[in-house]
Amino acid sequence: MSGVRVLVGTRKGGFILTSDERREQWEVSGPFFSGWQVMHMKGSPVDPNRIYASQYDDWFGQMIQRSDDGGVTWEPMGNEFQYEGEVTTHEWYDGTQHPWEFKRIWHLEPSLTETDVVYAGGEDAALFRSDDGGKTWQEYSALRAVKGPLWAPGAGGMCLHTIIQDPTNADRLIVAVSAAGVFRTDDGGKTWRPITRGIISRWELADPDAEIGHCIHSIAMHPSRPNVLFMQKHWDVLRSDDGGDSWYEVSGNLPSDFGFPIAVHAHEPETIYVVPIKSDSEHYPVDGKLRVYRSRTGGNEWEALTNGLPQEHCYVNILRDAMAVDSLESCGIYFGTTGGQVYASTNSGDTWTAIAGHLPPVLSVEVQTLP
């Protein structure tokens, strides 16, 4: 019998929610790494029992954990993340230059094809790769060479939070950094370039269409159309139809185009989801109503999805890595809130149910569809 496994990273540990394909009854296990922030957990597309977790604590730093039995047991992997070559500088909050300093891993992205290959997005922003299942890590230092002194931290730190692999081209990776922008390599990481044409940050940057400095919040891609990318920026929802070479806004009739996560339906590449947040200074849903917005037209035309979601006095946030989809026949959508709820829809967003209600603030949600 098939089923799903929802991997939930929170400020005080990791949780795994499992169900069969009906997704009606949920079993909750955890917390794993109790008391630590679990920034992100993600399973290998090659071996679903292989799960990687980023475990962080302000006191004791970064750990990487790995499970080879679907999250039942865990083993610590390597936590030596060193910047390769010269440690360069980036812009600091006061405008001065500040050396790159490693703090933590925001996002783990297992390879689409190799069980032991996994990418990690770090703070201060850098992309790391492991070829031995997380034991050792090497940096793609050429990324930092792309006008690194102009990169600057956002309010949450200067983090590389989005890593997209092109399923048709192993040499292409797309990464996003807050607040530096979005970058692409087409030669396996040897060289990188900013891909920001069409991105406008009118309220955030003195030069609104600068190559560097945009605060990208998240990017999503449907594997059947790797050249089509959807982006939730600080403000604005955008899409690209040419692998990021150019972007255009598709915010349309959203009540606010500020938000953090964006996701694509598993079977409908033009169906996308965002959760509008009131503003950059008020990180909660517009009018206190928790509404997921769905576009079936790849943007511009959006409909509010509210059935089963709180429609008054709701002041939670949904963070950038906290929304994901399963690939069962009736596509499931999942998201977690800073209030500790995890909501699931088993019908593409038409109706929602809380499958966990009282977790610590949710940092990330990923879903594995199990055979």
Task: Determine which residue in the list 25, 58, 203, 207 makes contact with another protein, applying CB under 8 A.
Answer: 58
In order of 161, 203, 240, the CA distances from 209 in angstroms are 21, 11, 16
What are the phi and psi torsion angles at 143 (to 5°)? -65, -45
- What angle (nearest 5°) sits at the alpha carbon of residue 131, between those of residues 125 and 137? 35
Task: Determine which residue in the list 25, 60, 93, 313 makes contact with another protein, applying CB under 8 A.
Answer: 60
Instruction: Point out which residues pair with 274 in neighbouring strands.
Output: 262, 293
In order of 206, 245, 249, the CA distances from 265 in angstroms are 36, 23, 19
Q: Which is nearer to another protein, 60 or 203 (CB)?
A: 60
- Options 58-66, 89-97, 242-250, 270-278: segment touching another protein (CB under 8 A): 58-66
Interaction pattern, residues 231-260, with another protein; x per rule: CB under 8 A: ------------------------------
Instruction: Say whether residue 86 binds another protein (CB under 8 A).
Output: no
**In the bound complex, what is the minimum distance in angstroms from residue 79's beta carbon to another protein?**
5
**The token pair that represents 306 in the structure block:** 């509210």
Q: Which is nearer to another protein, 57 or 69 (CB)?
A: 57
Task: Determine which residue in the list 36, 74, 284, 302 makes contact with another protein, applying CB under 8 A.
Answer: 36
Terminal-residue alpha carbon distance, the chain? 7
Number of residues binding to another protein, judged by CB under 8 A: 15
> Which residues 88-107 are close enough to bind another protein by CB under 8 A?
102
**In the bound complex, what is the minimum distance in angstroms from residue 102's beta carbon to another protein?**
8
Nearest Cα residue to 217 out of 147, 340, 322, 102: 322
CB 111 within 8 A of CB 50: no
**In the bound complex, what is the minimum distance in angstroms from residue 6's beta carbon to another protein?**
24
**In the bound complex, what is the minimum distance in angstroms from residue 101's beta carbon to another protein?**
9
Instruction: Say whether residue 80 binds another protein (CB under 8 A).
Output: yes
- Would you state the torsion angle of the CA atoms of residues 267, 302, 364, 215, taken in this order, to the nearest 10 degrees? 120
Instruction: Say whether residue 76 binds another protein (CB under 8 A).
Output: yes
Task: Determine which residue in the list 24, 27, 47, 57 makes contact with another protein, applying CB under 8 A.
Answer: 57
Q: What is the distance between the alpha carbons of residues 368 and 72, in angstroms, rounded to a whole number?
A: 15
- Cβ-based neighbours of 332, under 8 Å, separated by 6 or more: 4, 23, 325, 326, 344, 345, 346, 367
Q: Which is nearer to another protein, 58 or 207 (CB)?
A: 58
Which residues sit at the interface with another protein, rule CB under 8 A?
A: 35-36, 57-63, 76, 79-82, 102
